[in-house]
Amino acid sequence: MKIVLYSHAGSYNHGCEAIVRSTLKLFSDNEIILYSKVMREDIEYGLDNLCSIQQAGQLGKKNMYYYFTRIVAKLIHIKYFYRKLVTKNFIDSVNKNNIYFSVGGDNYCYDNIIWGCIYLNKRVNKKGAKTVLWGVSIEPYIISKKRVRKDLQKYALIVARESITYQALLDAGIKNVLLCPDPAFILDKVELLWPDGFKCDKDIVGINISPMALDYSRNSAIILQNYKKLIDYILDNTDYSIALIPHVIWNGGDDRVINSLLYEDYRGNNRVVCIDDHNCEELKGYIARCRFFVGARTHSTIAAYSSMIPTLVVGYSVKANGIAKDLFGEYEHYVLSVQEIGDENELTNHFIWIMQHEDEIKDRLIDIQARFSKKYEQTKAAILQLMR
């Protein structure tokens, strides 16, 4: 029996790439096939050297049927034909003797994605194959929707990556659930040289900002001002250097665009650098050498947490709160929700608290992650049991 990964959006989101790489590591004894929305992205970052990759659908063939699906989706809001087109290769390949992992960790958090997940789960189950919802976070209010609950009950197993989602699933009467940390906690790292001219002989603060964090905020200008205030505070009050580190480079959601905006005010300052795009292991290599980290993208913060780096999360959904709660027992000081930021100094004030509690945060990260291996072993055993 093969493991087939699907609902993978492509490796320009390095969080998606990190989930795939760490899943391949966890199930290294099994044959794994990856169905990707954008196969060329995965090849660009070398995933084809690790597993077989297939294009999930016919997105690149912009023929008459393609334009028909887009017109229907736009005019009468029926996306069935479009979903069928962009997943056709995957659906046609479904074999009841394989097991299927839906790997988009937060796909069920967003209304514009969730209905595609429901469509795929229904189609795969209809062909007699077992599905696993892998490393998922779901907003509790979404689980309360009848159609979503019905869909979730079709999975042979749901692996929640944090306890808020786990408890919400149980409260909704869904029993086929396990709690296990995001697989990216076991992602390997690769250390590259820092860019020439960057003052990296002192401690470094890594910073990640996401366009999505701006979209979810009440005032995007305030979010940017918070980041600028934080950078100014670090430069004026410490001898730390600052690395602006991207983690997603999608069109319309490219972290490097925001990094460039921030960097303009500090161009020529050898204590501030913009890191270019790299694969997720190489980005983790940069993050792992920071003394502190401030991040919006979930898997940039997981790269920091798993490297025992005291981290402040700029959060915008349940996943940030849930992951922090499982690590520290609370999320109040460890996550700053963008929806609640109203003052330009809030990010700086939260970062100061992280600095003041550095040692206890590191000790906590070391202690709790030492227990993660047992969780992975139990989850892997449950999945292998499904494959028998």
Q: What angle do CA 83, 85, 89 make, to 5 degrees?
A: 110
Asked if residue 61 is part of any domain, the answer here is no
Start-end of H helices in the chain: 14-26, 39-44, 64-75, 80-86, 88-93, 111-126, 140-143, 146-152, 163-171, 211-216, 220-237, 255-263, 280-287, 298-305, 318-328, 346-356, 358-369, 372-386
Tell me: do 121 and 144 sit in the same domain.
yes
Tell me: do 343 and 377 sit in the same domain.
no
Tell me: do 302 and 209 sit in the same domain.
yes
pLDDT at residue number 59: 60
Tell me: do 48 and 115 sit in the same domain.
yes
Tell me: do 11 and 39 sit in the same domain.
yes
Q: Which CATH number is 310's domain given?
A: 3.40.50.2000
Tell me: do 165 and 211 sit in the same domain.
no
Tell me: do 25 and 172 sit in the same domain.
yes
Mean pLDDT by 10 residues, the chain (388 residues): 96 98 98 96 98 86 52 49 76 97 85 85 97 95 93 97 96 96 98 97 96 89 96 98 98 95 95 98 98 97 98 92 97 94 95 98 97 96 95
Asked if residue 316 is part of any domain, the answer here is yes
User: Residue 198 is which amino acid?
Assistant: F
Q: What angle do CA 172, 126, 173 make, to 5 degrees?
A: 10
Q: Which CATH number is 108's domain given?
A: 3.40.50.11720
Domain count, the chain: 2
Asked if residue 335 is part of any domain, the answer here is yes
pLDDT at residue number 108: 86
Tell me: do 156 and 27 sit in the same domain.
yes
Q: Coil, strand, or helix at residue 379?
A: helix
Asked if residue 361 is part of any domain, the answer here is no
Asked if residue 216 is part of any domain, the answer here is yes
Asked if residue 347 is part of any domain, the answer here is yes
pLDDT at residue number 76: 44
Tell me: do 21 and 170 sit in the same domain.
yes
The domain containing residue 215 runs over which residues?
Answer: 204-356
pLDDT at residue number 28: 97
Asked if residue 167 is part of any domain, the answer here is yes
